[in-house]
Structure 1
């Protein structure tokens, strides 16, 4: 799977088609309703040009800049004593590690006249500075309002409180059908603004492996590096997806591109406009399993679809709604779900508050349950700490475990310990191979239940450290010299 990282802008927004097709006549000998041919010059001249021309002002270039340390090999010229002995310049920028600016270029879509921009998270990931270039050549600095790595989306805000910007209209990806005509507009490989046209090849594509929420629009409209963060547009000029990845063996388009559905974009956008620093989504509190052919045969199902409930967390919405282990979930809010990824997307895009109807099959009997739409609770305060001192964990940022943290990290299966949320570069924690998502359970024989416990356990130096962590459902213990 090819992800876009260094990319340039897409140009598009909203407008209806200007021309209406003239009446056509059937091909001689064709059945009624069969193939037809154009019958007028106007019909032959039908074009998507009006859609592109009127939507272009709402699409922007996103420039992301990040300062990184340039690594150099060993050299006498980097030795301060050598430089001083020969009277060479001293201080920052002379002989030691130098700093360079790493730049990435992507696309974004203005979705609100106040200057709210949607783009891919990987376009601005790690950026120290973000600058936006509009189609009319104006440029503005931008603030990052919200980053959501789980969906690979980010929301930016142009720094100009007085201007009113052209905005694109978000459509609904649920209105799409396979075969609908779509446009992908961007700047592939930096050659300049390019419009490609294709159809919706598939909906609800789940086994893609790009983000936590596996539910994508697939299109054969040519998408190349440079389209990332841009928009996939329907025939009426509505943005129905944000282009995010392609499947390619060569790095170029092979007719398999993926876009994040507009309905998921809307969830992230509403969280940002509400002032949130993270996306608040409904929490199920249950683990689900895909139905294989063997499971379907064992359950006497006509086909292997649905989501099988494996476990349920106590006092979770799943338990409150009456869901049980062994239930087979077949639909949510009247929409069929073929697997856990499809259910996860449908559930995550429901608004908080109230409840949603979920159809299940329990011991061969169909029934409907009402599941509360509640966010995961933070039962224990996070008490975030970045470890310092002289331990192999120095440089790691940790928080207390809670359902909210488990839901955000997605890979955690532990019910005790503290969670690593970040590991700083060039620190002992990085050299110890600690990763974000690791759950620290024990240090030198002392059980770790809170971040305060971990701070106390790492306060005193030791010649040897025994560290136990849980990673991906496995418990690992390592001996690390002090």
Structure 2
């Protein structure tokens, strides 16, 4: 039944072609007017063309996701205890006068069942920091759900419904086969009003300036997507999943006809990692690339700007082992065209570790095929995570030794040595000083910081003046503070 609408549209196209061919004076080179293309339905079947068969197939596998978390806040019974004069006569408030108050924060989104045993894929931002997650099917049955995997970098998460099932599921489509103009349906729970279906077309592919995830490669659609649709299904005319609805472009908070979905290829990659019971493990190239603009394309005698140019290859990396060189132009990965660094990152990062990716490279005007073994980023030195508690500019910061693995986790492109700040507590001295996660501590009072242990020792014997050399976004910033 899922292919019914597509078949009927094809039949209409054939009828339209026959009608045009039967027009008097028809010639192959003749221009067709708008009036010639308007056809009145001629049968009951044509009048009843509908997306309903697709929706009936898919809707049972699209769920509402309810996430909640408990937040504890201190609540003082009387504001008089803020007054020093009042406290002078009545003393400090007793245990019963200042007590914690528990508040529940909740969020609402959508999800898609992708297996009969109740595996659900949704957006990370829907269930972020949730203590409890429940899913509701379109027939109003509700179940508790367990968070199996969260991946902030792709804004995807995997849940497991806590029931035996079996459940209706959606099948993944090949999102790479989508074309601009294809008809798609978006199914979700906008504004919490209940399951809703909207229809549109694929407006664009490989959108990279969205700013939602680390891997900027989105399907753009004009199917109405609103708050609450996040994590819902974007399906094609065969009823297969082509994307996970994720974001909208809107100044008002409502749909303006520009919505974005994470391609099914990425969703399947994350779901596969969850099925293996591990975090998402991405391949590491060990090289940096940059966009090929018009000037570079002209210098390389390209017919148009395309591909990415290799700017650095790290020693001992998979890129070096494969024979990739600085100035190589990568134009495709596994036969899929690469247009910019974002599309390159998407093509490379969605390949499973342990396999081989084939790069199509232009070098000195010649096209070459280079096979890169897909390996995870190595932890070349132990990370030695340390939380700094001594009173110093670093109080409240968590630091660790840098390595390719740590750099990959913290989204640092090409920094593999030194000591990096991985986390900072709210309200801590480190936060007040202006330090941030991802900052690299290069030196203190002109002494190079070589390890997390060395930094911890220095904080226990503070100098009179702190002169900090902090690297951020490739720039060294010097901070001078009194002890």
The runs of 5 or more residues in structure 1 that have no matched partner are 1-14
Q: Distance in 2 between matches of 1:39 and 1:402?
A: 69
Q: Residue in 2 aligned with 1:410?
A: 411
Answer yes or no: is the 8 Å Cα contact 1:412–1:473 preserved in 2: no
Is 2:162 aligned against 1:159?
yes
Is 2:30 aligned against 1:30?
no
Partner SS state of residue 26, structure 1? helix
Q: Distance in 2 between matches of 1:461 and 1:140?
A: 55
The runs of 5 or more residues in structure 2 that have no matched partner are 23-27
Which structure has the larger Rg over C-alpha atoms? Answer: 2
Q: Distance in 2 between matches of 1:430 and 1:270?
A: 38
Match of 1:49 among 34, 47, 52: 52
Partner SS state of residue 346, structure 2? helix
Is 2:344 aligned against 1:343?
yes
Alignment coverage as a number of residue pairs: 465
More displaced stretch, 32-41 vs 193-202: 32-41
Alpha-carbon displacement from aligned partner over 1:28-52 (angstroms, at most 9, x marks no partner): 9624898454321122212112222
Alpha-carbon displacement from aligned partner over 1:137-188 (angstroms, at most 9, x marks no partner): 333333322221111111122334x343332222220121211110011222
Q: Distance in 2 between matches of 1:399 and 1:112?
A: 39
Is 2:175 aligned against 1:176?
no
Q: CA RMSD for the aligned pairs?
A: 2.8
* Alignment CA distance shift 1:69-1:82 (3 Å): farther
TM-score by length of 1: 0.88
More displaced stretch, 221-230 vs 133-142: 133-142
Q: Distance in 1 between matches of 2:85 and 2:56?
A: 63
- RCO higher in structure (CA 8 A, sep ≥6): 1
Answer yes or no: is the 8 Å Cα contact 2:234–2:244 preserved in 1: yes
Q: Residue in 2 aligned with 1:90?
A: 94
Q: Distance in 2 between matches of 1:68 and 1:91?
A: 20
Q: Distance in 1 between matches of 2:293 and 2:85?
A: 67
Q: Residue in 1 aligned with 2:62?
A: 59
Answer yes or no: is the 8 Å Cα contact 1:78–1:95 preserved in 2: no
* Alignment CA distance shift 1:369-1:81 (3 Å): farther
Q: Residue in 2 aligned with 1:111?
A: 114
Q: Which has more helix, going by share of residues?
A: 2
Q: Distance in 1 between matches of 2:380 and 2:51?
A: 53
Is 2:234 aligned against 1:232?
yes
Alpha-carbon displacement from aligned partner over 1:372-408 (angstroms, at most 9, x marks no partner): 1111111122222222232332322222211112222
Q: Residue in 1 aligned with 2:333?
A: 332
Q: Residue in 2 aligned with 1:7?
A: none
Q: Residue in 2 aligned with 1:320?
A: 321
* Alignment CA distance shift 1:96-1:116 (3 Å): same
Q: Residue in 2 aligned with 1:264?
A: 266
Answer yes or no: is the 8 Å Cα contact 1:78–1:96 preserved in 2: no
* Alignment CA distance shift 1:178-1:53 (3 Å): same
Q: Residue in 1 aligned with 2:401?
A: 400
Alpha-carbon displacement from aligned partner over 1:101-155 (angstroms, at most 9, x marks no partner): 3221111112222322211111122223333333333333333222211111111
Offset, 1:441: 2.2
